Amino acid sequence: MSSSPSSTFSAESYFSTQLPPSNLEHDIAGVREFVGRQKDAGRKVVFVTSGGTTVPLELNVVRFLDNFSAGTRGATSAEYFLKAGYAVIFMHRQFSLQPFSRHYSHSINPFLDFLEIESSSASSELPSSGSTPNGVTSSPQICVTPNKRDHLLEVLTVYKNVHAAGTLHTLTFVTVNDYLWLLRAVSQELSLLRRKAMYYLAAAVSDFFLPRQKMSEHKIQSGKGSLHIEMDQVPKILKPMVEDWTGKDGFIVSFKLETDQTLLIPKAQASLNRYGHQVVIGNDLNRRKFEVVFISWKEFTSQSSREDDASSSSPFRESWLRIDPHDRAKEIEEDIVEELVKRHGRWVHSGER
C-alpha cells in the first residue's frame, strides 16, 4: 500500500463525488426532532463522536482498514455529560461501546455473569421442560447475582431516567464515508443551538480512503502476488466544520492521539492553530486512561490563568489533567467533562471568541 496519497479532496469535492449513506435523510430527521425538543427545553446539547471509522477496499466489501478505538472515551464521556444535565447526540461506530451498556461489555464484564438461576428452579428434580411432577408448569426464575446488584441498580436507574427524559439520541456509522456525511449533517442541524452546542470529537477518523470511483466492485482476488493500493487523503473537515457548518458559534473540542509523547503538544497546538476551534485534548495511546492535556487559546481562559501564563509569548494555554492510574474506580472522563462543562458555560455566557 502506498504511503503517499494520490490526491487531496477538499470537503466540497468530497461531498460532490462520494455518495451519502442510504439512511442519511432518516437519521437527520431524527436529529432535527431531537434538537428541536432540546431547544424548547432550554438544554445544552453535546455531539459526541466515538469509535473508529473503516475504509472499505471493495464496493461489495469483504476487506477494510480500521482505525483504533474501542469507544471507551466517547461512551464514558457521554454518561458524564448526561449527568451534568446535557442532552447528548452519541454518534458511534456500530458495535463499539455505548453509554450505560459499556459497563457490561462481553470482554470485561460478561452480561451472563450478572445472572443466576434461582436454586429451587435449578433443582435437578425438575424436568427440563419446566413441568412439575403434578403437571403444573413452572418457569425457572432468574435473579441478579447478589454482589453485582447495587452496581447494576445504579446504572439501570440512570439509564431508565435518561430514556424517560429523552436526552440521549444515538446514531451509528461504520465507514469514514458514513462518518463524514453524518458529521456534516448533524453539525448543521445542531448549529441551530448556536453557543449552547458543544462538539466533542473523540472518534478516530481514517486519514486515507479509497474513493468509490477507484474501488473494485467485487472481492479483490489473490494470486497475483502483493497488493498495491493507492489511497487518497480524507479531507480535513475541521476547517469547514468550524467556519461553515457550525456557524462559528459551536464550542468545538477535538482530540489528538499520538504514540510519541514528544509530538503531543506541538501537534495539538498545530491543530488548534490550523482550525481555530476552542480546545484540543492531547492523549498518548498508552497513558490516555490517566493523563490528558488540554490545549486552548489564552484569550479563552479565566483571568487567573491568563495571569499565570502572562510571561510566555505563546498564544496557547496548556493544562494537564491526571488521575491516579491505580485507582480503578476513577474515570478520567469525569474530570475531562467537568472541565469542559465549566469552559462551555463561560463560552455560552461571555460571548467571547
Mention every residue, 6+ apart, whose C-beta is less than 8 A from residue 304: none
**Binder of ligand PMT out of 72, 77, 177, 278 (CB under 6 A):** 72
What is the C-alpha to C-alpha distance for residues 27 and 30, in angstroms, rounded to an integer? 5
* Region at 73 (left for phi over 0; alpha for psi -120 to 50; beta for the rest): alpha
**Binder of ligand PMT out of 175, 177, 187, 283 (CB under 6 A):** 283
What is the C-alpha to C-alpha distance for residues 194 and 250, in angstroms, rounded to an integer? 6
**Binder of ligand PMT out of 238, 295, 332, 340 (CB under 6 A):** 238
264: cell is 503531543
Residue nearer to ligand PMT on the CB measure, 82 or 205: 205
**Binder of ligand PMT out of 31, 46, 237, 341 (CB under 6 A):** 237
Q: How many CB atoms lie within 10 A of CB 23?
A: 13
- Does the protein bind ligand PMT through residue 69 (CB under 6 A)? yes
Q: Which helix (H) or strand (E) holds 232?
A: strand 232-233
Smallest distance, ligand PMT to C-beta of residue 257, A: 3
Interacting positions 201-230 with ligand PMT (CB under 6 A):
201-205
Residue nearer to ligand PMT on the CB measure, 35 or 201: 201
66: cell is 480500521
Residue nearer to ligand PMT on the CB measure, 204 or 337: 204
Q: Which helix (H) or strand (E) holds 240?
A: helix 238-240
Mention every residue, 6+ apart, whose C-beta is less than 8 A from residue 157: none
- Does the protein bind ligand PMT through residue 191 (CB under 6 A)? no
With CB under 6 A as the contact rule, which of the stretches 102-110, 112-120, 140-148, 251-259 interacts with ligand PMT? 251-259
With CB under 6 A as the contact rule, which of the stretches 26-34, 84-92, 195-203, 222-230 interacts with ligand PMT? 195-203
- Does the protein bind ligand PMT through residue 177 (CB under 6 A)? no
Smallest distance, ligand PMT to C-beta of residue 73, A: 4
Smallest distance, ligand PMT to C-beta of residue 70, A: 4
59: cell is 464496493
- Does the protein bind ligand PMT through residue 340 (CB under 6 A)? no
What is the C-alpha to C-alpha distance for residues 126 and 142, in angstroms, rounded to an integer? 15
Q: What angle do CA 10, 11, 16 make, to 5 degrees?
A: 100
Q: Which helix (H) or strand (E) holds 93?
A: strand 87-93
**Binder of ligand PMT out of 9, 255, 294, 300 (CB under 6 A):** 255
Residues that bind ligand PMT (CB under 6 A): 49, 69-73, 201-205, 234, 237-238, 254-257, 283, 288
